[in-house]
A = this chain, B = another copy of it.
């Protein structure tokens, strides 16, 4: 993983900020590069490791594994291993991560507005 240093200023700052501000805490939990995308993929049901990889262009097996591990640790996905060969592993959302689904759509709406604004701004600058 590239282990984090327990007592770096960086780590301590993050910890303090997460304790000080709940919305920062939430954003930290879903803030990894690919996490949101993974969660969105799982919105409609279980998927296997390989399916996730195929559905998320650009992600490597390593990053997929890392992000899934963190999501699992944070109880945002659950991992179901079938004792078969070749291996089969499925991932699915947990109750707590399902509670986030409506928030995603609100964030999505905000994004659309923001993008509009950026476009407007570009036009104004051009004129």
| Residues of A that sit less than 8 Å from B by CB | 12-14, 16-17, 20-27, 29-31, 33-34, 36-37, 40, 57-58, 74-75, 96, 99-100, 103-115, 117-118, 121
Q: Does B108 lie within 8 Å of A22, measured CB to CB?
A: yes
**Dominant secondary structure of chain A at its interface with chain B:** helix
User: Which A-B residue pairs are the 5 nearest by beta carbons?
Assistant: A22-B108, A22-B111, A26-B107, A23-B107, A25-B111
Q: Does B16 lie within 8 Å of A112, measured CB to CB?
A: no
From residue A60, how far is it (CB to closest CB) to chain B in Å?
A: 9
Q: Does B37 lie within 8 Å of A21, measured CB to CB?
A: yes
Q: Does A117 lie within 8 Å of B75, measured CB to CB?
A: yes
13 CB-based A-B contacts, threshold 8 Å: A16-B58, A17-B34, A17-B37, A17-B58, A21-B108, A22-B108, A22-B111, A23-B111, A24-B36, A27-B31, A31-B31, A75-B114, A75-B118
